[in-house]
Structure formats: structure tokens, C-alpha cells
Amino acid sequence: MTRLSVNINKIATIRNARGCSLPDVLLIASDCEFYGAQGITVHPRPDERHIRRSDVYQLKQIVRSEFNIEGYPSRDFMDMVCAVKPTQVTLVPDPPEALTSNAGWDTIKYLGFLKEVIQEFKSHGIRTSIFTDTRKEIIEGAAKTGTDRIELYTEPFATGYPSNPFRAVEEFRKAAIIAHENDLGVNAGHDLSLHNLCFFHENVPYLDEVSIGHALISDALYFGLRQTIQMYLDRLK
């Protein structure tokens, strides 16, 4: 079964807009789990414009499903992750000022760097994942870093889905097979939604986990959090 991890960054964005404690990030995380989510994802950034470092430490105390922390492996980020010891750390190549993740790692160029980072995380018993695109050489490069999984950057699929879904998904299908052949688990995320998730799930094999935030939280404004999470889980059955 493909697991659903809910990215709660947008909840923190709303909270921070008023400088108060509403909505309650910890309560929302617990509710997401109660409503069926099998993981909670956060992506703390240096400017703390959504998830704060303090949130990360507090979430560790209450998350009972899989806790996934995304981010660029700066020294500060690595120290925080090693202290918190989440289920999984997902490495993204974003500079601090990036609005959102918009590309995967060049695992060939940064092979040595990623190997060192991953070795440190794994020494703390933390599962590792690398954000990548679908190119064969990039996925094979990821395998050489020692990572446990890759996370396929799915924005190109989401963009191409409305006009030609089979063409949009084909490279991701191939990428998942290549990852599996290289003993890598497969996660996916970015712009997956109620409209395209079922098709993606049906056509991409070996899919361990999807991480969804922006679309899911937006849908919850209309349907409510409980019903929205159930709708996304239904797409993964």
C-alpha cells in the first residue's frame, strides 16, 4: 500500500500570518493521523516562514505515524534532524530563498557531498530519501550515495496530465522501475492532487509514499480535513 504523508507547511503559513497560535500545528498533525494519514511531513526553512524549528521538536513528541523532515542539508538542518531523529529525512537542493522545491538533485555532481550527509543520517538510524527527477543516470547516481529512497519530483507530471496523462506519467513509470532495480524505495511529491493522484498511483509501480501538502490543505477548505484525507486515501486504494 502506498502511504499518504500530509505536509502541514501551509497550516503553519496561515498561523504565522497572524503571529498567533491558530491554527494549531500540533493539533492539525494529530488530527491528520486520526483521520487516516500515515505520515506527517514538514519542510522547515531558515527564515521560518512556515514551519519553525520549535515546531519540529514539538511535533516529534506527538507524531505517532511516520515523521518526515524535508530540507537542504546545511549544518544547522543536519544537527536538528539528528537531534530529532524522525522516521525519514528527505534531502532537497533548495537554496534558502526558494519559494518551494522546484528541482531534484544532480546526484552525479554532488555524489561525494550526498554520500557524507547520508552516512551521517544513517548513523543515527534515520531513513534517507533524495529528491530527484526521472533521468536514469540521476537515479543510478542516487543509488551510489547510499540513500534508502528517492522522491520523484512530480511537477512535470502534474503539468502534463491535463493534456496527455499517459505521456505525462511514462517517464515516472520508467523511473520507478529503475529505482526498484537499484534497490531504492520510491516516494513522490509536488503538485499531486485529487485530480491526478489516482492515475499516477495506478501507473507508477513500487510507490511507497506520496507527500502532499498544498493541494490537500486547499481541498480541506472546501471539504474539511477529515473528508479530504479520506478522499486522498481512496485515490491510493
Show which residues are catalytic: 43, 70, 190
Across the strands, what pairs with 95? none
Question: Which burial class, exposed, middle or buried, applies to 209 when counting CB atoms under 10 A from its CB (0-12, 13-18, 19+)?
Answer: buried
List the grid coordinates of 130.
533524495
**15 contacts 212 by C-beta, under 8 angstroms:** no
